[in-house]
Structure 1
Amino acid sequence: MNAQSHFNSGVEAAHKGDALQAIEFFRQAILLKSDYAEAYNAIGALLINMNNLNQAEFYLQRAIECKENYYEALYNLGTLFNKTGLLYEAEICLREAINLDSNFPEAHFRLGMVLKQLERLEEAETHLCKAIELRPNFKEADFALGILYLLQGQYEKGWKRYELRRQIFDSFDPGLRHWKIEDLIGEKVVLFHEQGFGDTIHFSRYVKEIAKVAAEVILLVPKQLERIMSSSLKNITIHSDEKMVGEYKFSYPLPTLPFLFNTTLHTIPKSIPYIKVNNDVIEKWRNIVEKEINVNNYKVGVVWAGNPNHKNDRNRSIPFSTFKPIFSIKAVNWISLQIDDRVNELQTISDEVLDFHEYINDFSETAGLIENINLVITVDTAVAHLAGAMGKETWLLLPMDPDWRWQIQRQDSPWYPTIRIFRQLHIGDWQEVLARVTVALEAKLKK
C-alpha cells in the first residue's frame, strides 16, 4: 500500500468510529511520506477528540509546517488551544484560518465561542451569526447564539434557541411532543428533570406555575432531590422512578418552562424561598452543629469545587490551595458543604473546618445544614442554587465566561435575590477574587 491508500483507510476507519485504527493508518501513511500534512492534521483532530491534547498539538504543528496556509489545521489548533484554556492563542489561530478561508463556518463558530469566553460578546455574536449564515442548519452555532443572548439578559431572543439543546445533547426525554399552556388546563402533566442537580433546583420554581392550570402535576427528579422537592412542593407528586408515573399525554422538561412562559428579566418567578426543608431535619442539624461549634461565632458554609466530571469544572472550581487561606479568618465557624472526594483535601486543616459529609446522603440533609448557617460561600455548583432557592445569604464565586444565568458584570442575580456575586476580573485569577471575599467577610464580621 502507498501513503494515499493508508490515508484513505484511516479516513474509512475514522468514519466507522475506530479512532485508534485510524491513527495507525495515518501513521503508516506518514512513514511513507514524511511531509503528509493531511495525515498529521487527521491524527491531531482525532487526538483532540480523545482529549490527548499534548500529542495533538505536536501533530497539528507538524501539519502547519508541512503545508503553507493550511487553514483546516489552524482551525484544529485553535480548537485545541480553546480546550486548554489558551484563549488568546486560540483566537490568533482561528482568525488566521478565517483570513485564509472566510467561508469556513466551523472556524467562525469556534471563534465566536472563544470570544464569548473572553466576554467580548458583540464580536462573538458577529461570528456566530456568520457561521449560521454560511450553514443555515448549524444547530450548535444557533444554540450558542441563544446562550449568548441569555447571558446578556435578552431572554426573548434566547429561549427558543435554548430549545435546540434537545436536538444536540443526549438527555432523558419521554419522546412526547411539547404543548401550549392552554392545552394543559385540567390535565395531568409530567415535568421531568434534565441536566444537573443545580438546573433542576433552578427551574423547579416553575412547577407551581404549571400547577395553577393543570389538574395534576407529577415531577420526575433524581433520587437525591426527591425528598427536598417533596417538602418544597406540597401538592405536587414527586417521583425519582419514571415507572411510578403511569400513563400521561402532556410532558415538559424543566428547562423548557421559561420558554413556555415567555420569561423575561422582569417576569422571573422568584417567590423566595421556594425550596424548603422539613423542621425535623433542621432541628436534627441544629443539634449536630451546636455540639461542634462555638455558638458565639459566625457560621459560614463553603464549597470550593464542583463535580470534577462537569465539562466546565476546570474553570469554575477553585484549587484548594488557593481557597485555603480564607480559613485563617478568626471568629468564624467554617463548615464544609463539600460531599465528593474533594472533602479529603480538608485533612490538612481538619481543626479549622468542620466536615459533616458522612451524614449527608441527599439534598434535604444539605438544606438542613444550610438552615443552621449564616452565610454560604460557594463556586457555581448545585449548592449555590439550593442556598439561593432557600433564600439563604450566599456569596457566589464565578469565573470569567460564567453560566448564562449569572449574566455578565452584575453583582446580583435576577433569579436569586439573596445571592451576591464575586467575579473573576482576569481569566483563572481566583486569588484576587478571594482577596475581595476576605475583605468583605471581615467587614461583615465587624458589624
Structure 2
Amino acid sequence: MRGTPYLEPDASRAAQWQSRVREASPMHDALQIGLVWRGDPNHRRDAQRSMTLEALAPLFALNDVVFHPLSPGHTAMPANVPHCDLTPDYRDGFEDVAAHVCALDAVVTIDSAPLHLGGALGKPVFAMLDRVSQWAWGTQESQRWYDSVTLFRQPRPGDWQPVVARVAQRLASFPAAPEREATGLANRL
C-alpha cells in the first residue's frame, strides 16, 4: 500500500524520528498510526471537517495500535488509548512532521495538511472527509493526486460514524510494516 513519494525528509532527521518513535511508543510491536481529528479552528471549514475524540471510539477499540497525534496543541488523547504524543518535539515545523510521518506505519486524518504531506511522502493515508469536502477531492471516494491515499467520505453531512467504522475495519486488516516482517516482530495478521 506504500505509494510513490515525491518528497522525502532529511535522512538524518528521519533516522532521529525513527528512533524517537521506537523509544517512546508504549507498544513497540504495534502499528504506529498518525492521527489528526481536528484542524485549525480558524479555518473556514473546520466545523465540517473536524470531529470529536469520542467519534473515534471504533479506532480506539483496536488492538495492537498506538496512535500518534500529529497536530500540536489539541485536546489530549484519553489515558486508556495507547498513544504517543511527540508533537512537543516539533522544532522545525513540517520538517519534523514529515520525518515523524515517515517513522509511522500509516496516517488517519481529516482533510488537513498531514493528509497531503503523507500522500507526498508515499505513506498510506486513510483520509476521513466530510460530505461536502474541499473541491479538490471531488464528490466520490477516488482521487488521482496521491496513490497512497484512500478516501472515506461521510454518507450524510455530520455523520462520522460510518466513516470511522470503515477506517477501523481497514486498520484492523492493515498489514505489518515490511521492517517488522523482516525482523519477525509483527506477525499479527
- TM-score by shorter chain over 0.5: yes
CA RMSD after TM alignment: 1.8
1:421 alignment partner in structure 2: 151
User: Is the alpha carbon distance of 1:351 and 1:439 closer, same or farther for their aligned partners in structure 2, counting shifts above 3 Å?
Assistant: closer
Secondary structure of the corresponding residue to residue 444 of structure 1? coil
2:58 and 2:168 in contact (8 A); partners too = no
Cα separation, 1, equivalents of 2:65 and 2:80: 14
Shift of 1:412: 2.9
Structure 1 segments of 4 or more deviating over 6 A?
A: none
2:14 and 2:103 in contact (8 A); partners too = yes
Cα separation, 2, equivalents of 1:305 and 1:408: 21
Secondary structure of the corresponding residue to residue 425 of structure 1? coil
Cα separation, 2, equivalents of 1:371 and 1:350: 26
1:442 alignment partner in structure 2: 172
Counterpart residue type for residue 304 of structure 1:
W
Shift of 1:397: 0.3
User: Residues 139-182 of structure 1: CA distance to partner in whole angstroms, max 9, x if unpaired?
Assistant: xxxxxxxxxxxxxxxxxxxxxxxxxxxxxxxxxxxxxxxxxxxx
2:40 and 2:46 in contact (8 A); partners too = yes
2:34 and 2:70 in contact (8 A); partners too = yes
Shift of 1:380: 0.3
Secondary structure of the corresponding residue to residue 322 of structure 1? helix
1:366 alignment partner in structure 2: 97
1:282 alignment partner in structure 2: 14
User: Does 2:95 correspond to 1:386?
Assistant: no
TM-score by length of 2: 0.85
2:130 alignment partner in structure 1: 399
User: Is the alpha carbon distance of 1:324 and 1:379 closer, same or farther for their aligned partners in structure 2, counting shifts above 3 Å?
Assistant: same
Structure 2: runs of 5+ lacking an equivalent:
176-187
Counterpart residue type for residue 397 of structure 1:
M
1:354 alignment partner in structure 2: 84
1:316 alignment partner in structure 2: 49
Q: Highest relative contact order (Cα 8 Å, sep 6+), 1 or 2? A: 2
1:333 alignment partner in structure 2: 66
Shift of 1:272: 4.0
Counterpart residue type for residue 312 of structure 1:
R
User: Residues 346-382 of structure 1: CA distance to partner in whole angstroms, max 9, x if unpaired?
Assistant: 2x32752110111013001011111111111000000
Cα separation, 1, equivalents of 2:6 and 2:173: 30
Shift of 1:331: 0.9
Q: Percent identity?
A: 28
Cα separation, 1, equivalents of 2:136 and 2:98: 22
Cα separation, 2, equivalents of 1:280 and 1:292: 18
Cα separation, 2, equivalents of 1:442 and 1:357: 25
1:302 alignment partner in structure 2: 35
User: Is the alpha carbon distance of 1:400 and 1:351 closer, same or farther for their aligned partners in structure 2, counting shifts above 3 Å?
Assistant: closer
Counterpart residue type for residue 413 of structure 1:
Q
Counterpart residue type for residue 124 of structure 2:
E
Structure 1: runs of 5+ lacking an equivalent:
1-270
Secondary structure of the corresponding residue to residue 174 of structure 2? helix
Secondary structure of the corresponding residue to residue 345 of structure 1? coil
Cα separation, 2, equivalents of 1:349 and 1:412: 35
Counterpart residue type for residue 328 of structure 1:
A
Shift of 1:314: 0.4
Counterpart residue type for residue 76 of structure 2:
E
Cα separation, 1, equivalents of 2:14 and 2:120: 16
Secondary structure of the corresponding residue to residue 355 of structure 1? coil
Say which structure is richer in helix: 1
1:327 and 1:353 in contact (8 A); partners too = no
